[in-house]
Amino acid sequence: GENVEQHPSTLSVQEGDSAVIKCTYSDSASNYFPWYKQELGKRPQLIIDIRSNVGEKKDQRIAVTLNKTAKHFSLHITETQPEDSAVYFCAPIASGAGSYQLTFGKGTKLSVIP
Amino acid sequence: EAQVTQNPRYLITVTGKKLTVTCSQNMNHEYMSWYRQDPGLGLRQIYYSMNVEVTDKGDVPEGYKVSRKEKRNFPLILESPSPNQTSLYFCASSLRGGKLFFGSGTQLSVL
């Protein structure tokens, strides 16, 4: 199956600073690259995603960038706020390839210090 | 309201007593899957299904069974639970492997 590595595993930032989380994957057939946010005691929810025909996507304070050649994609959060504190997961997938065995990154715990 | 409904939220049982966790979605999604979440290990896929009567193993299928007799339902069955299956379980669905919609989770404790 896909080998997915996510770094860092923990990240502390001051409120207002930026945060970057990187996800590296092994399957060159991967073509869908989502990021999920899981607040304490809640279910994971998609916050942003990108497909392989696009290099970058932005939604207000969050953005995702993709480097298919190097097989990694990154989550960028600018002007961080305390409500950004959560665990973030990446889960690249080869959508449409006929198999949807899915491997998540182990997660990044982001703490935003007021 | 579009949602994935998972029951129960909490379950305490004893070793060897068969149990079923139910999962149902109302979005007509083809793809459904089960995950367990353990501290430090993230979310690991147990089983997934790409359509009715089609199921496949994920990364950690041992000790679990699933069935997909109807498109909307995808129950997780533990025929003989053991303490190492104590975990937080999530069901999820999507359209052909896209954005995942998660259920609210089931915290299982096997004594």
Tens digit of pLDDT for each residue in A37-56? 999 999 999 999 999 888 99
Chain B contact probe: residue of A33, A90, A102 with most B CBs at under 10 A:
A102
CB A74 within 8 A of CB A57: no
Chain A contact probe: residue of B44, B45, B91, B100 with most A CBs at under 10 A:
B100
- The more confidently predicted of residues B34 and B95 is B34
Return the pLDDT at B2.
Answer: 83
Residues of A with CB under 8 A from a CB of B: 1, 32, 34, 36, 43-46, 49, 89, 91, 93-96, 99-107
Return the pLDDT at A98.
Answer: 63
CB atoms B56 and A99 under 8 Å: yes
Angstroms from B63 CA to nearest CA on chain A: 18
Return the pLDDT at B71.
Answer: 96
Per residue, what are the HEC states of B31-86?
EEEEEEEECCCEEEEEEEEEECCEEEECCCCCCCEECCCCCCECCEEECCCCHHHC
CB atoms B102 and A43 under 8 Å: yes
Spatial distance between the Cα atoms of A95 and A105, rounded to a whole number of angstroms: 17
Percentage, residues of chain B above pLDDT 70: 100
Which residue matches tokens 């097989």? A71
Angstroms from A11 CA to nearest CA on chain B: 15
A96: nearest Cα among B47, B97, B101, B30? B97
pLDDT in tens, B59-72: 999 999 999 999 99
| Residue A95 banded pLDDT, cuts 50, 70, 90 | confident
* B99: chain A residues, CB-CB within 8 Å: 34, 46, 49
